[in-house]
Amino acid sequence: QKTSICYLSFPDSYSGGLGDTQFSFRLRQAGGSRSSPFQDDGRYNREAPVTLQREAAHYFGYVYFRQVKDSSMRRGYFQKSLVLVSRLPYVNLFQCLLQLIAPEYFDKLEPCLEAVCNEIDQWPPPVPGQTLNLPVMGVVIQVRIPSRVDKPGSSPVKQCNQENLLPAPLVLPSVHELDLFRCFQPVLIHIQMLWELMLLGEPMVVMAPSPTVSSEMVLALTSCLAPLRYCCDFRPYFTIHDSEFKEYTTRTQAPPNIVVGVTNPFFIKTLQHWPHILRVGELRMSGDLPKQVKVKKLAKLKTLDTKPGIYTSYKTFLHKDKTLIKRLLKGIQRKRPSEVQSALLRRHLLELTQSFIIPLEHYMASLMPLQRAITPWKNPPQIRPFCQEDFMKSLEHAGPQLTCVLKGDWLGLYRRFFKSPNFDGWFRQRHREMTQKLEALHLEAICEADIVAWMKDKSEVEIVDLVLKLREKLVRARCQHLPVKEETLQRVSLYIDTIIGSLPEDLQTVLHHP
């Protein structure tokens, strides 16, 4: 694991560029325990947006790399990286933190790092919905942790701090949002295609001139689907030393569902068989729309000096949104700030994703049993199965055309989506939430029932069986944090005591000491 982190912490293709660069990577946790040392993982993941949950099986690495000429070094260069490893995808927060720490660390080395670690140890855990003040090296970073209850696409809530912080805090507008407009500049006219490829979980290679461009482009692509979670694998920066290198470059099986960012020209040859390859140059902000890359046939991807472009034979299901492109072009002409352009782009992608996902949400909600079908003394009814054909029929009167002006083959897009890991991930999560809601409603039904009347004609065996089932429900409600009020759980506990109290003493003794 440490060796993998070391390889990922340095550019793997020759770079004559001097100075400091920042980038990020993501790697699979090596075998062994997948448990997290953080006790509040469950609570955090329940309250955070699905796109910002802590990952149990992957680490994110945030890198600050310095390369300067130094004649005292054997290679003639000073090359060093400071890496922050976390399970949280807070790219803005951690890159900002490294900008403060790394320059000091390169000058003063270990003692500086030890002092910083002591400060970070005192930071409170991230709680969704809260604004945190994080002191480090004489600066206070102020940032709000997004919550699942935030309205998608809304601006972060500005919190008025009661305490007057001196010096004034360094306020980060977001822990994770990238400058989408800057990242997507060379591919703006193809944003529709890229969104579809991400939605369908298609394998894609991003070939970039540097780890910075590679990692930013991959993170921008995978964030396209918010608030829908991108459920496939993604590697913002990938090297030939990675343990999965053989798995990704083999031609004996289809490429996996992954977006992988690379910089080494060697990959042009080894990943030629992948179905979608995005080749980009350096990202530069200019006063005009940068030259837009073209969609090209994969057969043209042969030489090391391959020109920027999207190498694919993919045909989009939906038509391009020409209005969006015109608005962004007008913004460039009027010198509109990049963050405003990014907000426009993010709003467009959000509305596109919502138009696609809302019909699925409505259909899924219709599979929930009616509340009157939930009775206290029977197991809760099952959620009805998801029938793709029934869903397709529902689109005639409740499809994406109600909220989205884009024309195209929406039905074909849904059919392809059903085969993707993103549908599987979305469906599992929604099914789990609905099952928990059913459990919660069942507990409430039990609380409203007349237990004493029910017990009148029941045998001891049936009564003991009920006690055991209620106890099991209580344990599950607390362990799974079911959406049920604490007073409901207390009433169930009281019911259990009432039932046990009605039984003979020998049984009471047994049931009181399980």
pLDDT tens digit string along 396-447?
888 888 788 888 999 999 999 999 999 999 999 999 999 999 999 999 998 8
Report yes or no on 230 lying in a domain.
no
Query: One-letter amino acid identity for 62?
Result: Y
How far apart are alpha carbons 195 and 353 in whole angstroms? 9
Give the least confident one: 34-38, 97-101, 125-129, 229-233. Answer: 34-38
pLDDT at residue 95, rounded to an integer: 97
Amino acid type, 131: T
The CA distances from residue 495 to 246, 455, 498, in Å, are 59, 12, 5
**pLDDT at res. 420:** 97
**Within a domain: residue 326?**
no
Most confident of 16-20, 59-63, 296-300: 59-63
Helices 505-512, 486-501: axis angle to 10 degrees equals 140
Tell me, what's the pLDDT at 15? 59
Q: Is residue 96 part of a domain?
A: yes
Question: Quick check: is 271 in a domain?
Answer: no
Q: Quick check: helix, strand or coil at residue 240?
A: coil
Q: What is the band of 33 on the pLDDT scale with cuts at 50, 70, 90?
A: very low
Average pLDDT over residues 84-93: 96
Confidence of residue 166 (pLDDT cuts 50, 70, 90): low
Q: Per the domain annotation, does 80 fall within a domain?
A: yes
Considering the domain boundaries, does residue 412 fall inside one?
no
When pLDDT is averaged across residues 499-508 and rounded to a whole number, the result is 85
Mean pLDDT of all residues in the chain?
88
Report the range of poorest mean pLDDT among 152-161, 167-176, 198-207, 437-446: 152-161
pLDDT at 300 over 80: no
Q: What is the pLDDT of residues 337-378, one digit of tens each?
A: 999 999 999 999 999 999 999 999 999 999 999 988 898 888
The pLDDT score that the predictor gives to residue 408 is: 92
User: How many angstroms separate the CA atoms of 128 and 45, rounded?
Assistant: 9
Is 287 part of a structural domain of the chain? no
Domain that holds residue 508: 450-514
Number of domains in the chain: 2
What is the per-residue pLDDT for 157? 47
The number of beta carbons lying within 10 Å of the beta carbon of residue 128 is 20
Q: State yes or no: pLDDT of 467 exceeds 90.
A: no
Say how far apart CA 272 and CA 114 lie, in whole Å: 45
Torsion, Cα 258 410 181 148, to 10 degrees, reads -70
In a domain, 157, yes or no: no
Q: Of 351, 353, 323, which Cα lies nearest the Cα of 413?
A: 353
What span, in angstroms and rounded, lies between the C-alpha atoms of 140 and 142? Answer: 6
pLDDT class for 142, splitting at 50, 70, 90?
Answer: very high
Residue-wise DSSP of 149-212: TSPTTPPPPPP--SS--SSPPEE-S-SS---HHHHHGGGGGGHHHHHHHHHTT--EEEE-SSHH
In this predicted structure, the answer to whether residue 203 has a pLDDT above a threshold of 60 is: yes
